[in-house]
Amino acid sequence: EKNGFAHFMLKEIHEQPRALRDTLKGRLAGDDSAVVLKELEIDDQKLRSLRKIFITACGTAYHAGLVGKYVIEQLARVPVEVDIASEFRYRQPLIDEDTLVIVISQSGETADTLAALREARRLGAPVLAVTNVVDSSIAREADHVLYTWAGPEIAVASTKAYTTQLVAMYLIALHLAAVRGTITLEERRAIIKELKQLDSRAELILGNGHLIKDLARIYGRAEDVFFIGRGLDHAVALEGSLKLKEISYIHAEAYAAGELKHGTLALIEKGVPVVALATQKNLFEKTLSNIKEVKARDATVIALAMEGQKELEKVADHVLYIPPTNPVLAPVLAVIPLQLLAYQMAVVRGCDVDQPRNLAKSVTVE
């Protein structure tokens, strides 16, 4: 059932091209000019009058929400707040009928996310659930459901569920942007065209997996690893850091790259691995100067960028490339090397990859 892979996690990482395709299937209009979300039965007038969106979730799903915030705000120009479900449910969120609440949950059974959904509905907001499990509690109780078609995820560490959640965020953002008239048809077409190519680009990254195995051999014994990035790269850094912690038990922290010098830089010393994400073109120079900052403290830098950013090779110790794509879509590709890095590090350390200590796949208690 592992299809020849050593672990479910590795199998599921490799299933991502297929999962991305399935999650897009039937949701794009024939000429690639529009997103068709039959599941979202909120009328256009209502979507135009939305004043705020809340996204709430736990763990990896929360990290997908952080990408969602960035993308929805950028494309549809609606303010989005993202909150951890266990916080949202107890903080009396400011919700009214012009608010849409999006909950994200792979399993559809996470207790805190379900409670956040109930709280949102009690306060009168329509709830849209993004989930991977048909007929789960969250799917049943939400007003609208957008399924991710990742297929069953067995490994405790979430991989293909996360990337398909990102696709769901893009679909929602593009739909809202179309209804609200915040991007042009050409812009929409351009993003949709790239969205459809994510599967083959993910395939290319998976084909280079051996590069990451080599890195894991070198750095697998590290005690601390830092992840830095700006904008969408920061959201992906948080996910990369969580993956590494949960399966390899290495202490990892993710920081907005510009925030390092406000305290964390004190922890950067000779040989500490810093994974620096620099996929966002408009932030590249800024991230590059943060990379130089940590290099000046003798950190070891593993940079991750889109092909073509040769400049990094002069500064970083290692550079991993992802195929070029629209910067808003980069998280789907950028996370794959980080998933593989966490996986390979855990293997080097002899950890139980699919069943990490103290964790359960579905967290149905508070």
Applying CB under 6 A, which residues contact ligand F6R? 58-61, 105-107, 110, 113, 157-158, 242, 246, 362-363
**Which whole-number Å values give the CA distances from 89 to 145, 287, 356, in the listed order?**
20, 35, 28
361 is catalytic: yes
User: What is the separation, in whole angstroms, between the first and last Cα of the chain?
Assistant: 32
At closest approach, how far in Å is the CB of 87 from ligand F6R? 14
Mention every residue, 6+ apart, whose C-beta is less than 8 A from residue 322: 201, 205, 279, 304, 305, 306, 307, 330, 333, 334, 336, 337
Smallest distance, ligand F6R to C-beta of residue 314, A: 35
Q: Which residue has the tokens 């609200």?
A: 180
Three-class SS state of 32:
coil
- Smallest distance, ligand F6R to C-beta of residue 1, A: 20
Smaller CB distance to ligand F6R: residue 99 or 110?
110
Question: Residue 363 CB, nearest distance to ligand F6R (Å)?
Answer: 5
Tokens 């209804």 locate to: 179
* Beta-carbon contacts of residue 65 (< 8 Å; ≥ 6 apart): 55, 56, 57, 82, 102, 104, 169
Q: In the bound complex, what is the minimum distance in angstroms from residue 85's beta carbon to ligand F6R? A: 8
Pick between residue 82 and residue 157 the one whose CB is nearest to ligand F6R: 157
**CB closer to ligand F6R out of 69 and 230:** 69
> 335, 166, 317, 310: which is closest to 234 by C-alpha?
335
3-state secondary structure at position 4: coil
Return the number of the residue (183 or 242) whose C-beta is nearest ligand F6R.
242
Q: Please, which residue, 16 or 158, has the CB nearer to ligand F6R?
A: 158
Output the CA torsion 196→199→200→205 (10° steps): 140
Is residue 81 classed as helix, strand or coil in its secondary structure? Answer: strand
Cα dihedral 164, 168, 169, 174 sign: positive
Shorter beta-carbon distance to ligand F6R: residue 85 or 195? 85
Single out the catalytic residue among 46, 52, 213, 361.
361
- Long-range Cβ pairs for the range 143-148 (8 Å, 24+): 144/39, 144/40, 144/41, 144/42, 145/39, 146/37, 146/39, 146/40, 146/171, 146/172, 147/39, 148/19, 148/23, 148/106
Is residue 226 within 8 A of residue 272, CB to CB? The reply is yes
Q: Which residue is nearest to ligand F6R (CB)?
A: 59
Nearest approach, Cβ of residue 129 and ligand F6R (Å):
10
The least distance separating ligand F6R from the CB of residue 106, rounded to whole angstroms, comes to 3
The two tokens of residue 236 are: 């992906």
Taking the C-alpha atoms of residue 261 and residue 290, their distance in angstroms, rounded to an integer, is 9
Residue closer to ligand F6R, measured from CB, 72 or 130? 130
Q: Which residues are catalytic?
A: 361
